């Protein structure tokens, strides 16, 4: 109907009835436009017939024109699209046309009016009304049979015979054929547009679904953290059945996390946000490491696991993460679907490449398991498709693994195919190109995430603290429930502060200068990456260790976190002991760094390119003191004003770096200057006291004794 869009609104006003559905309105428009076009052409044929003095033919055409105008006007009047109306109109048209054909002498001498009858048959088909089509079709066939059988008894209109009949035959075939062509074109275009719209809608829906399950998968991580963390605590506090149930909760939360990671990986692959990271390493050794991580699992399932390398060493470009996940997926499936006493073989083969310039390698994972039915082999790489087998109802799966393997192979310019038969087992063969362009990395490791690995046991450590009390920990997390959990977990070892978003977290960190910061990544306002970057670029806070705790556990996010200056990166759901050990180790490392500074605390530390921000800050403090230590009125206020920070910020940062509060540090700086003067000059104690900013020589003597355990006079004599 797009061809008649100019008059579409006008036609709609003429025919629409209050109760019409969009389908009925479309049929009315089609029927009305067809009639208007027919009226136009039939009027022209009528005029031409009168000019050629074909009175009999002209009268018949005028009858057809009158009927067309009458039923069109009737549609305008009643507007209601009822069955009796449409059936009456179509049947009357067919009967009238075949009556005219018979009166003119049969089909051959009908001036092409048979085409007009056929047009109504097609009209009924385009209206998608099956009953109307059958009704009109029956009338059309009856009309053709009657006209054909009665031909010997019909009288031909001599005036219409010859070239005149052929002329009108051509005219009628022409305009009706054109109308049929336009209608067909409209139908085809409408069908194509509908198909295109459906395809776009399906594509948008698929993209929306992918984003939806990716977002849901991200959201799973926070509740999983709470579930796993609380279950671990319950298991540690109880014994017997309660502890076993808690361990079951932990085990299942880890399984959910594994599925979440696979869903997120598949989503990233489909979005093109999962780049290939090649390193050059020994493929033979790497496959052996993957295989060894499955041996315990195979032993539990009472299976034999075999490795058949085709060569001793094969240095080539591999993406360790993607290749390990691919081979592990295949191995996991092979072990799961192989009955007890079976065997699983991992082979590495280099096919004959005499006729090919491109060298390739094949990694085969073959089992003696249940096999895959032939009719399902072409479906196993479809996302979420799973091969069901009633003999193994306990087997779990989501249909994501093989899809992910297939996508990984495409990314690495490789292929994967399967050979299988029921009761004989399956063989999955990965084919990869052998290239040697990436940097060499000999000692690559495997994660072993597909196998059941015992939880790492962290050594016990005593509560960390300082002579000024427990260290301060700032938690930046927008999930209130997780914040409460973390606070309860850590408050015995830290003075815990909290911030509900990244903006507030930066404010809290700048104001209080905590000892450690634990921050989420996905937060409103400013995310964890922005928080980390701003804190590390601010000299007031750049010494504070930052631990990012997040649901975004992929390699790119981890790299981004470390590029922003994060000191550690833990994925949700985290292990409680791992988190506490991480925080403890960071605190210990900072204590060691502080001891390093204290070794040359009152001397300027040489700076090099890439020097730690703490060194730069200390040198700035020492530079200010060097200029002002002789001034007895120089106090803490002048120091933090010249540094451009607050008193609290100066105190927290200087204490974190040196272990001394600001007032002690200034006094110690002056005393070390006095110590140097006692050794290098002949000035008396009072003169040295005044020169180093002490207005009272007696206070200077007491302070010197407290700092060095000896009076200034005794100190000088000891070096004489």
Give pLDDT tens digits for 504-559. Answer: 899 888 888 888 999 988 877 788 888 988 888 887 787 889 998 876 666 777 78
Element (H, E) at 640: helix 636-643
pTM over the 0.95 mark: no
Helix (H, G, I), strand (E, B) or coil at 57: helix
Residue 160, both tokens:
């219409």
Rounded to the nearest angstrom, the gap between the alpha carbon of residue 235 and the centroid of all alpha carbons in its chain is 35
Angle between helices 320-336 and 283-292 (to 10 degrees): 40
pLDDT in tens, 557-605: 778 888 888 888 888 777 788 888 888 888 777 766 665 555 455 666 6
Question: In which element (H, E) is residue 281 found?
Answer: strand 279-282
**Which one, of 386, 409, 385, 399, lies nearest residue 263 by Cα?**
399
Say how far apart CA 49 and CA 300 lie, in whole Å. 97
Q: What is the mean pLDDT of residues 306-325?
A: 89
Q: What is the pLDDT of residues 391-402, one digit of tens each?
A: 443 344 556 778
Q: How far apart are CA 342 and CA 299, in angstroms?
A: 11
**Whole-angstrom Cα distance, residue 190 to residue 177?**
20
Report pLDDT for 399: 62
In tens, the pLDDT along 443-461 reads: 777 776 666 433 333 333 3
Q: Give 325 or 221, the one with higher predicted confidence.
A: 325
pLDDT of amino acid 420: 86
**Which fold does the domain 279-433 belong to in CATH?**
Heat Shock Protein 90 (3.30.565)
Helix, strand, coil fractions of the chain, as percent rounded to 5: 60, 10, 30
3-state secondary structure of 421: strand
- DSSP assignment of 342-360 equals -EEEEEEE----TT-SS-E
Which is more confident, 432 or 137?
432
Question: 460-485, pLDDT tens digit by residue?
Answer: 334 444 444 678 899 998 887 788 88
Going from the C-alpha of 83 to that of each of 27, 86, 131, 411, 425, the distances in angstroms are 12, 5, 10, 60, 63
Query: What residue segments make up the domains of the chain, in order of their start?
Result: 2-161, 206-271, 279-433, 472-592, 613-718
Given the structure tokens 């295989």, which residue do they identify? 291
Backbone angles phi and psi of 315, in degrees to 5: -80, 125
- For the cut 80, the answer to whether the pLDDT of residue 640 exceeds it is no
Mean per-residue pLDDT of the chain:
77
Distance between CA atoms of 4 and 30, rounded to whole angstroms? 10
Longest Cα pair distance anywhere in the chain, in angstroms?
Answer: 154
And the tokens for 130? 């099956």
Average pLDDT over residues 255-274: 70
At residue 3, the pLDDT reads 45
Measure the CA–CA gap between 314 and 446, rounded to whole angstroms: 17
Cβ atoms of 711 and 705 closer than 8 Å = yes
274, pLDDT greater than 80: no
Q: Helices 163-237 and 113-126, interaxial angle, to 10°? A: 10
pLDDT band at residue 362, thresholds of 50, 70 and 90?
Answer: very high
Does 397 or 119 have the greater pLDDT score? 119
CATH of domain 613-718: 1.10.10.60
For residue 158, pLDDT beyond 90: no
What pLDDT shows up at residue 81?
64
Please tell me the number of Cα atoms within 13 Å of 24 on its side-chain side.
13
User: Can you read off the two tokens belonging to residue 611?
Assistant: 């020097």
Helix/strand/coil (H/E/C) assignment for every residue in 172-188: HHHHHHHHHHHHHHHHH
pLDDT in tens, 283-295: 999 998 888 888 8
Q: Determine how β-strand 360-367 pairs with β-strand 343-349.
A: antiparallel
Report how far residue 228's alpha carbon sits from residue 218's, in angstroms, rounded to the nearest whole number: 16
Question: What pLDDT band is residue 430 in, cutting at 50, 70 and 90?
Answer: very high
Contact 561, 594 (CB under 8 A): no
> Checking DSSP bridges between strand 472-476 and strand 516-519, what pairing results, if any?
parallel
| pLDDT digit string, tens, across residues 59-77 | 888 888 888 888 778 777 7
Confidence check: pLDDT of 79 > 70: no
- Cα–Cα distance measured from residue 695 to residue 690, given in angstroms and rounded to the nearest whole number: 6
Under CATH, to which class is 472-592 assigned?
A: alpha beta
C-alpha span between 65 and 100 (Å, rounded): 13
CB burial string 16-33: b at 16+ within 10 A, e below:
eeeebeeeebebbbbbbb
Beta-ladder partners of 473: 496, 516
Number of residues in the chain: 720
What is the tens place of the pLDDT at every residue in 651-704?
777 776 776 777 777 887 788 788 888 878 888 888 888 888 888 888 888 888
């Amino acid at each position: 109907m797009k061809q008649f869009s100019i008059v579409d609104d006008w036609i709609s006003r003429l025919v629409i009835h209050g109760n019409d559905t969009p389908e009925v309105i479309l049929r009315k428009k089609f029927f009305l436009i067809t009639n208007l076009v027919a009226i136009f052409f039939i009027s022209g044929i009528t005029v031409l017939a009168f000019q050629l003095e074909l009175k009999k033919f002209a009268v018949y055409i005028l009858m057809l024109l009158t009927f067309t105008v009458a039923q069109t006007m009737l549609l305008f009047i009643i507007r209601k699209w009822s069955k009796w109306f449409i059936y009456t109109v179509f049947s009357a048209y067919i009967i009238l046309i075949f009556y005219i054909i018979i009166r003119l002498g049969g089909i051959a001498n009908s001036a092409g009016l048979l085409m007009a009858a056929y047009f109504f048959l097609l009209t009924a088909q385009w209206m998608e009304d099956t009953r109307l089509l059958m009704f009109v079709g029956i009338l059309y066939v009856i009309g053709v049979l009657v006209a054909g059988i009665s031909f010997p008894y019909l009288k031909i209109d001599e005036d219409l015979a010859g070239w005149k009949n052929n002329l009108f035959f051509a005219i009628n075939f022409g305009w009706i054929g054109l109308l049929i062509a336009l209608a067909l074109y409209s139908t085809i275009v409408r069908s194509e547009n509908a198909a295109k719209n459906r395809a776009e809608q399906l594509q948008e829906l698929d993209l929306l679904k992918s984003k939806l399950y990716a977002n849901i998968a991200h959201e799973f991580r926070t509740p999983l953290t709470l579930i796993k963390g609380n279950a671990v605590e319950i298991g540690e506090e109880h014994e017997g059945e309660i502890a076993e149930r808690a361990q079951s909760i932990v085990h299942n939360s880890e399984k959910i996390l594994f599925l979440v990671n696979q869903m997120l990986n598949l989503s990233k692959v489909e979005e093109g946000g999962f780049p290939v990271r090649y390193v050059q390493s020994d493929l033979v050794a790497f496959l052996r490491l993957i295989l060894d991580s499955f041996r315990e699992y195979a032993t539990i399932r009472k299976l034999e696991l075999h490795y058949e390398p085709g060569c001793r060493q094969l240095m080539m470009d591999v993406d360790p993460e993607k290749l390990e996940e691919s081979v592990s997926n295949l191995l996991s499936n092979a072990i799961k679907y192989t009955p007890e006493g079976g065997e699983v073989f991992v082979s590495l083969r280099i096919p004959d490449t005499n006729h090919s310039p491109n060298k390739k390698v094949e990694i085969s994972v073959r089992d003696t398991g249940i096999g895959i039915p032939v009719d399902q082999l072409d479906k196993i790489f479809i996302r979420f498709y799973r091969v069901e087998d009633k003999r193994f109802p306990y087997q779990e799966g989501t249909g994501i693994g093989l899809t992910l393997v297939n996508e990984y192979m495409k990314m690495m310019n490789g292929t994967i195919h399967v050979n299988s038969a029921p009761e004989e087992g399956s063989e999955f063969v990965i084919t990869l190109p052998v290239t040697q362009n990436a940097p060499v990395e000999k000692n690559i490791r495997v994660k072993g995430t597909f196998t059941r690995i015992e939880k790492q046991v962290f050594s016990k450590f005593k509560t960390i603290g300082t002579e000024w009390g427990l260290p301060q920990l700032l938690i930046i997390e927008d999930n209130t429930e997780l914040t409460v959990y973390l606070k309860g977990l850590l408050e015995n070892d830290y003075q815990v502060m909290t911030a509900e978003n990244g903006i507030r977290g930066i404010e809290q960190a700048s104001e209080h200068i905590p000892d450690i910061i634990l921050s989420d990544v996905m937060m409103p306002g400013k995310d964890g990456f922005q928080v980390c970057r701003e804190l590390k670029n601010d000299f007031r806070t750049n010494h504070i260790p930052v631990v990012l705790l997040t649901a975004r556990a992929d390699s790119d996010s981890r790299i981004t976190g470390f590029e922003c200056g994060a000191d550690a990166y833990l994925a949700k759901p985290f292990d409680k002991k791992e988190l506490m050990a991480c925080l403890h180790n960071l605190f210990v490392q900072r204590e060691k760094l502080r001891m390093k500074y204290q070794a040359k605390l009152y001397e300027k530390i040489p700076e090099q390119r890439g020097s730690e921000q703490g060194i730069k800050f200390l040198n700035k403090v020492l530079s200010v003191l060097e200029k002002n230590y002789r001034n007895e009125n120089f106090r803490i206020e002048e120091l933090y004003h010249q540094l451009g920070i607050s008193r609290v910020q100066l105190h927290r940062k200087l204490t974190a770096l040196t272990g001394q509060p600001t007032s002690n540090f200034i006094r110690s700086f002056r005393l070390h200057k006095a110590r140097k003067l006692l050794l290098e000059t002949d000035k008396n104690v009072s003169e040295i006291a005044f020169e180093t900013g002490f207005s009272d020589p007696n206070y200077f003597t007491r302070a010197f004794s407290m700092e060095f355990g000896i009076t200034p006079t005794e100190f000088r004599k000891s070096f004489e």
